Amino acid sequence: NQLRALVTGTTDKSLYADCDFVIEAVFEEVGVKQAVFGEIEKIVAEDAILATNTSSLSVEEIGSKLAHPERLVGFHFFNPVAVMPLIEIVKTPVTTESALSTAFVVAKGLGKNAVLTADAPGFVVNRLLAKVMGEAARAVYEGTPVADVEKAFAPLGLPMGPFQLIDLVGWKVAAHVQDTMVHAFPDRFYANQNFHRLAELPEVVDKDKGGRVTGFTKAAQKIVKDAAGSTPASADTILRRVQDGLAQEIKLMLDEGVVPEVEDIDLCLILGAGWPFIDGGASPYLDRKGASERAFGDTFHHPVIRGIGG
DSSP 8-class letter at 228:
-
Residue 34 is predicted with a pLDDT of 98
Q: Has residue 71 been placed in a domain?
A: yes
Q: How many CA atoms lie within 13 A of 52 on its CB side?
A: 37
At 52, give phi and psi (nearest 5°): -110, 135
User: The sheet that has 49-52: what strands, in order across it?
Assistant: 21-24, 49-52, 72-76, 86-91, 113-118
Residue ranges making up the domain that contains 145 = 124-310
* 146 & 290 share domain: yes
Separation between Cα atoms, residue 76 and residue 66, nearest integer Å: 20
**Which amino acids are annotated catalytic?**
76
pLDDT in tens, the chain (310 residues): 787 888 889 999 999 999 999 999 999 999 999 999 999 999 999 999 999 999 999 999 999 999 999 999 999 999 889 999 999 999 999 999 999 999 999 999 999 999 999 999 999 999 999 999 999 999 999 999 999 999 999 999 999 999 999 998 899 989 999 999 999 999 999 988 889 999 999 999 999 998 899 999 999 999 998 888 889 999 999 999 999 999 999 999 999 999 999 999 999 999 999 999 999 999 999 999 999 999 999 999 999 998 765 5
CATH number of the domain bearing residue 73: 3.40.50.720
For 184, how many CA atoms within 13 A lie in the half-sphere containing its CB?
Answer: 18
CA distance 63 to 60: 5
Read off the DSSP letter of residue 95: -
Terminal C-alpha separation, the chain: 49
Residue 280 belongs to a domain: yes
Shared domain for 113 and 141, answered yes or no, is no
Say if CB 217 and CB 158 are below 8 A apart. no
Is 3 domain-assigned? no
Q: Cα–Cα distances in Å, from 196 out to 173, 204, 223?
A: 10, 11, 11
Taking the whole predicted model, whether its pTM rises above 0.75 is answered as yes
Q: Are 57 and 32 in contact (CB under 8 A)?
A: no
Q: Are 96 and 152 found together in one domain?
A: no
118, 139, 161 — which closes off a domain? 118
- Among 118, 133, 148, the domain boundary falls at 118
Kindly state whether residue 2 falls inside one of the protein's structural domains.
no
CATH number assigned to the domain comprising residue 217: 1.10.1040.50
Nearest to 60 by CA among 50, 45, 70: 70
The pLDDT, as a whole number, for residue 1 is: 73
Q: Give the DSSP H/E element, type plus range, for residue 113.
A: strand 113-118
